[in-house]
Structures are given as C-alpha cells and as structure tokens.
Amino acid sequence: MATIARPAFHMKRQRVLWGWVFLSPWIIGFLIFYLVPMVFSLIFTFTNFDLTRPNEIAFIGLRNWSQLLRDPNVGISLRNTLGYAIVALPLTVGIPVLIATMLNTKSLWGKQILRTLFYLPYMIPGVAAAYIWAGYLSPDSGWLNLALERLGIVAPNWLFDAKWIYGGLFMISLWGIGNSVLITLAGLQSVPTELYEAAKVDGANPFLTFRKITLPMISPVIFYNLVLTTIGVFRFFDIPFMLKGSSGDPANSTLFYNIFLYRVAFPQQNMGYGATLAWLLFIISMVVTLILFLSARRWVYYAGGERDE
Amino acid sequence: MTTRIQTQPRTPAKESRTSNVLFQHSRKLLFGGSVTLLVIFFLIIYLSPMGYMAVTSVKSQGQIASGTILPLSPEQYTYEGTAYDVYNVPTDEGVKQWALVEGLRNISTFIDPAAPEAGLIAWEGRWRALEPVLAPDIQWSNFNEAYQRANLPRLMLNTLAIAVFGVIGTLLSCVLVAYGFTRFPIPDKNILFLILLSTIILPRQVTLVPTYAFFAAIGWTGTWLPLIVPHFFANAYNVFLLRQYFMTLPRELDEAAMIDGAGPIRILVSVIIPQAIPVLVAVGLFHFVFAWNDYFEPLIYLLNAPELQPISVGIQQFNAVYDREPAMLQAVSILALIPPLVLFLLSQRVFMRGVVVTGVDK
C-alpha cells in the first residue's frame, strides 16, 4: 500500500474520521442486516415466536433444538441437500474447467462468440430457466425424451419421478456455470506461456502438462468457483421451489433444506423453529467453509506467494 | 517469426523449410477447426432448451399435441368454399398432393389443387394411412396473448422500478465504501475488509427470520422497501469490484486536487468517479440483472401484494394457472428473458470483465 503524505497529525485524524464516514453505509448495514439478525435469530431459537401472534412469544428453553433432533424432515432435507451437493459440486466445478480448456485452444475460431454463447444461459432469469427446462424435460413433447426415444432408449418422466428428478436438477444447474467458465478461462489465459514451453522442451505430453502445470496454476480459480458453488448449494431454493413449491414432491425428493425452512417459517409461521433451522444451517455452512479453506492450503497454489495487500 | 514464409524460396533447404512451416500451419488450422466443431456441437446441446422454448412458444395447442418438432399444420385447400386437408396420395403417376373431399373406408374422393377444373377424383385405398402435407404455421399471436394474460406491462414496470432504485442505492453506497477502503487510513482496515468479504459466505436464509420479523414489525412487508432499502447499505461483491478498480487509479491526481484545496467528497466526485465510469457501469448492470432475476425476497415480501410483484414471482403464478398450456409458458419466458439478455449482449465486454475481476483477483 503506497503511503500518503502526512502533513500533520490532526490532518491524519481528520482523514481517519472521513474514512469512517465513507464506510458507515456498510457498517450500519452490517449491523442491521447481519449482526443484529444473527443475535435475534439465536434468541428466537429459544422461543415459540409466531408472527401471527407476536404478543404470545414465550421462552421455551431448548424445545426447538430438541425438536430439531427428533424431526424426521430435518434428516430428510439434510440428506437430500447433501445428496444433491455430492453430484452437483463436481459437475458444476469440473465441467467449466473442460469447457474453458476447449475455449482456450489457441487456434479456435470465433472465440468471442463461443464464449458469449456459453455465458448466455447464466443471464436467463431463474423462473424462465425453470419453465424452459420443465418443458424440455416433459415426457410427451420435450426434446430430450424425443431424442432419447429416437435412440431407442426408454426415457423417464424426469421431473415427476423421485428416481430421476435429481438428474433433471443437475441438468438445470449446468445452465448456471457461465460465470465459472468465464473465470476459469481468465485463469487459463493468465498461466505464463514459458511454463508450457519448458514442459514441451522436457517432452511432456499434453495430459501431463495439464495435470502438472495447468491444474496447479488455475487452482486458485477452481477454489473460488468451489467456494461460490458450495454457497450456492447452501442457498439452493429457487429452482425446486419454482417447479414443486414447498411440497417436496415427488416422494419428498425435493424437500431440500431451504424448502423445509421456508415451509416451517412461512406457510406454518413457526418462526422460532424456523430460526433454529436457520442457525443449524449457519453452523453447517461455517464448518464446511472452514474445512474448504483449511483444505485449500494443501491443494491451492498461489504463484505469487504473498499477494499485495 | 513468420517473415521467412514471405521471402522468395531460393535454395532447396529453404524451400523444404517453407513447406514444413506451411504443413504445420495447415495442421494447426485443421486442429483449430475440429476443436471449433466440437465446441459448436456441445453448444448446440447446451443451448437446445432455448431452441425448444423458441419453437414451442409459437405453437398452437394442437401442434404441441401432434408431436412434430417444428410448428407445422396440415396444409389445406379451399374448394367451392370449403377447406379440405391435403395429403400425399400414391398414384400410378407417382405421389400427388391432393385435398381429401370425402373419405370412406376403401374409396375416397380427392381434388387436385393443381388442376381443380378436372373435378373430383376417386381413389381406391385407405385414406387414413395417407400422410398429411404439413406446412409451417407459426402462431405469432401467442406472444400478444401471453403479454396480455400475464399482465406483463405491469410486471415489467414493477421489476424496472425495483431494479432502478436498487441500482441507485448500490452505486451510491458501494462507491462510498470502496472509496473509504482504498483512500483513507482507517485502523484495522484489512480486518474490516475481511469481515465484509465473509458476508458473501453467509446464506441469506440464516438471517431471514429476524429480518422478516423486523420488516413486518415496521410495516414494510407488502411494499417494495425490503427489496430496495437494504441495497443502500453496500454489498461485498460490488465493493470488492470497485475497490480493485479504485486501487489502480493513480493517487497523484487525488493529491494534486488535495493541494488545490479539494475536500474528500469533491475528490470523489470530480477525480475518482470520472475515471471509474466502466466499473460503475459494470456494477450497475450486475445489480440490474440481479434485481430482474431475484426471486426469493420478492416471493416472501410481496406474497400478499400481487399488484406489486416483479416478473419472477408473477411468472411463477402465471405458471400455476396456465401449466397445461406450454406455448403460453414458453412465450412468457421469452418475454421475461429479453431485457436481461439484450442488456448483457449490448454490454458484454464491460460485464464479463467485471466477472473476471471479482473471480481472479480474490
């Protein structure tokens, strides 16, 4: 950080004061929309708070937390979310690396246009995407099943069959990889060409080069995408809700954690238990993020060592 | 490097080198071409749902039920005031396109549209086994119908208002905060910045219950205020993007203005902001697209105020009513995705650079 000329002590104090003034929108926002709600949320977990009867709020001790342990829907929704994450994360982090590698081919034609086209679905509003896919995957007129039938494959009723709906959701989630592709591509472009030339001199084949040079060099970008998509899984709500509401159909398969949280807090208006579910989500997401950041020390490689800060 | 190709080859050694370079060049071209074809192949699959949307949006209910991919309808021929369907009819002189006037089990009457003056033709065979002649028949009126039925003008106006106020709030607050972070000697600035960035990790459902209770208590549920006012308090992504950009701006200009007696606000307005227009445009676009596509918060805050709902929630309710009419649903989806898509295509350079900066610099 470059140093500024500091003419006098009171002048510096004045600048510190101005600094706080400029930061104040964020500091106030952080208190109102993050810190205070977190504290209140924790307090609510010990109450029977119901928004329709706010005056009857009473402390009920740990009853919400013990309900959490007994409620079968907590287990179902956690299992659904985890099951979705285990497949969706590798897909939505890995496929962008493949696409970006193809787009990074030196002699590719129409690079700009192809890049823009891969980004395009990311711009489509979630509701529109949900209904485009609902039609595309429909058993009678959807293109996917028409194509599969032409290949002689008996196609499933994707979004209405508990066995297949995750397949549908994975496909929909792949429409959201535009940002990851773009960032990965930028990461690939910033790998110094000398490294590749050195590998060529040493006679390394393309796969070895990719594994030993490209992957480590873009590992910070992969890590960033992994963190963001993990956060996306913790927020996962819009697409299943647009398709199935908070019903969890078929057979509770779309009862994801946030769908369940919504069901408890809004249709059922049970804010005390809703806050408890929210706190459990907070704890889980903090633990997972912590694990991610700790694991990063083992596999994320920062070329510049210390970064300027 | 390639100047060698341009010189006239004189010696055999040089000639072979030239052809070698040419060979490598064409091999590279071939490789590039095949990778391009592969990418295009993936793209066609990747974007095919958009093709489905486009084609379905201009179909009639009957065309959807018929199962053809393109919006086709049986071709008709009007003979003496009545319209008859045209079929491919095998005859002794090859397949003819004739209009079926009367179909019986084993013998049918046709009229030849190419020679109606010849009168009715009797044909022996089962007409039900014949293939109808299909012609493109595009229902452009679906768009108008969807536009009216979904009340899109109101939905779009609502979305536009929420988005524009949000853009103003985001720009104002994030510029101030980023300016504070880059130009002022605040103690423990790095720790504060880390706290700011860590808010990205927090799922918004975590703070949902108390925030909703708070907005309900002050009477803001059922209004746009919960969707607009929080954006006047800065957010991590955009502050980060602006800070990265402000850090690259030379401090000499600030210092010169300071010596001329300009205060911090004056420097921000007349020195920093004029240099930062591209990044301001990027932040504005990001927020606009975010607000246009946002679903969860409008859903919970405007549940009981349908006249104030934005397009995302409005379409979901439209779907609940028209879920048996795929054409309507696809038409309304197209209309909803046009604004963000057009905005993105017009500004893709600024937009994509912004995405890359937030992703790669972190």
The secondary structure of chain A as a DSSP string is -PPPP---HHHHHHHHHHHHHHHHHHHHHHIIIIIHHHHHHHHHTTB--BTTSGGG--B-TTHHHHHHHH-HHHHHHHHHHHHHHHHHHHHHHHHHHHHHHHHT-TT-SSHHHHHHHHHGGGGS-HHHHHHHHHHHT-TTT-HHHHHHHHTT-----GGG-TTTHHHHHHHHHHTT-HHHHHHHHHHHHTS-HHHHHHHHHTT--HHHHIIIIIHHHTHHHHHHHHHHHHHHHHT--HHHHHHHTTS--STTTT--HHHHHHHHHTTS-BHHHHHHHHHHHHHHHHHHHHHHHHHHHHH---TTSSPP-
* Nearest chain B residue to A13, by CA: B185
ipTM: 0.87
Residue with tokens 């509770």: A252
Of A254, A53, A84, the residue nearest A161 (C-alpha): A254
Best to test chain B binding among A4, A14, A22 (most B CBs inside 10 Å)? A22
Whether A305 has a pLDDT exceeding 90, the answer reads no
* Nearest chain A residue to B296, by CA: A238
**Range among B17-21, B117-121, B133-137, B252-256 rated most confident:** B252-256
Q: What percent of chain A has pLDDT over 70?
A: 95
Q: What percent of chain B has pLDDT over 90?
A: 49
Angle among Cα A281, A283, A284 to the nearest 5 degrees reads 65
- Is B142 in contact with B123 (CB distance < 8 Å)? no
Whether B175 has a pLDDT exceeding 60, the answer reads yes
Q: Is B261 on the interface with A (CB under 8 A)?
A: no
Whether B93 has a pLDDT exceeding 90, the answer reads no
Q: Please state the pTM of the whole predicted model.
A: 0.86
Q: pLDDT value at position A7? A: 54
Q: Which helix (H) or strand (E) holds B97?
A: strand B94-103
Of A219, A273, A257, A275, the residue nearest A66 (C-alpha): A273
**Range among A95-104, B89-98, B120-129 rated most confident:** A95-104
List the single range of B41-50, B115-124, B260-269, B294-303 with lowest mean pLDDT.
B115-124
What is each CA distance from B97 to B84, B88, B93, B121, in whole angstroms?
Answer: 12, 5, 12, 12
CA B191 – CA B189 distance, rounded (Å):
6
**Torsion of the alpha carbons at A151, A157, A162 and A165, rounded to the nearest 10:** 70
Q: How many helices (H) and strands (E) does chain B have?
A: 17, 8
B18-28 mean pLDDT: 78
As beta bridge partners, residue B82 has: B79
pLDDT tens sequence across B134-151: 888 888 989 999 888 889
Confidence at A8, pLDDT banded by 50, 70, 90: low
Q: What is the DSSP letter of B89?
A: E
Q: pLDDT value at position B310? A: 95
CB contacts, 8 Å: B211 with chain A: 33, 37
CB contacts, 8 Å: A104 with chain B: none
Cβ distance A275 to B211 less than 8 Å, yes or no, reads: no
A188-202 mean pLDDT: 90
Amino acid at B275: Q
CA A234 – CA A136 distance, rounded (Å):
26
- Is A22 in contact with B265 (CB distance < 8 Å)? no
Q: pLDDT value at position B75? A: 84
Of B226, B356, B196, B233, the residue nearest B297 (C-alpha): B226
Confidence at B355, pLDDT banded by 50, 70, 90: confident
**pLDDT, mean over chain A:** 90
Q: pLDDT value at position A65? A: 95
Interface size between A and B, measured as CB pairs under 8 A: 284
Confidence at A140, pLDDT banded by 50, 70, 90: confident
| B296 closest CB neighbour out of A34, A119, A237 | A237
Whether A230 has a pLDDT exceeding 60, the answer reads yes
* CB contact residues (below 8 A), chain B span 39-98, against chain A: 39-40, 42-43, 46-53, 56, 64, 67, 69
Closest Cα in chain B, distance from residue A61 (Å): 18
Q: pLDDT value at position B101? A: 85
Residue with tokens 């039938």: A149
* CB contact residues (below 8 A), chain B span 164-183, against chain A: 172-173, 176-177, 179-181, 183
Cβ distance A266 to B199 less than 8 Å, yes or no, reads: no
CA B185 – CA B178 distance, rounded (Å):
13
Report which of residues A249 and A22 the model is more confident about: A22
Closest Cα in chain A, distance from residue B40 (Å): 8
* CB contact residues (below 8 A), chain A span 38-77, against chain B: 38, 40-41, 44, 49, 51, 54
Tokens of B338: 């046009």
Environment class of B223 (CB within 10 Å of its CB; exposed 0-12, middle 13-18, buried 19+): middle
Q: pLDDT value at position B358? A: 76
Q: pLDDT value at position A1? A: 46
Whether B11 has a pLDDT exceeding 60, the answer reads no
Tokens of A291: 């694990």
Cβ distance B67 to A140 less than 8 Å, yes or no, reads: yes
Q: pLDDT value at position B14? A: 53
What is each CA distance from B219 to A34, A44, A77, A262, A267, in whole angstroms?
Answer: 20, 20, 32, 21, 19
* CB contact residues (below 8 A), chain B span 204-243, against chain A: 204-214, 216-217, 230, 232-234, 239
**pLDDT, mean over chain B:** 87
Whether A106 has a pLDDT exceeding 90, the answer reads no
* Nearest chain B residue to A124, by CA: B337
Cis peptide before A250 (omega within 30 of 0): yes
Closest Cα in chain B, distance from residue A282 (Å): 6
Confidence at B8, pLDDT banded by 50, 70, 90: very low
* Largest distance between two CA atoms of chain A: 82
- Is A149 in contact with A155 (CB distance < 8 Å)? yes
Whether B2 has a pLDDT exceeding 50, the answer reads no
A168-187 mean pLDDT: 93
Of A158, A98, A97, A88, the residue nearest A130 (C-alpha): A158
As beta bridge partners, residue B102 has: B109
Whether A286 has a pLDDT exceeding 70, the answer reads yes
Whether A2 has a pLDDT exceeding 80, the answer reads no
Cβ distance A22 to B264 less than 8 Å, yes or no, reads: yes
Confidence at B17, pLDDT banded by 50, 70, 90: low
**Which residues, in sequence order, are CB contacts of A261 under 8 Å at separation 6+?**
A274, A277, A278, A281, B205, B208
Q: pLDDT value at position B1? A: 38
Closest Cα in chain B, distance from residue A194 (Å): 17
Whether B130 has a pLDDT exceeding 90, the answer reads no
* Nearest chain A residue to B361, by CA: A221
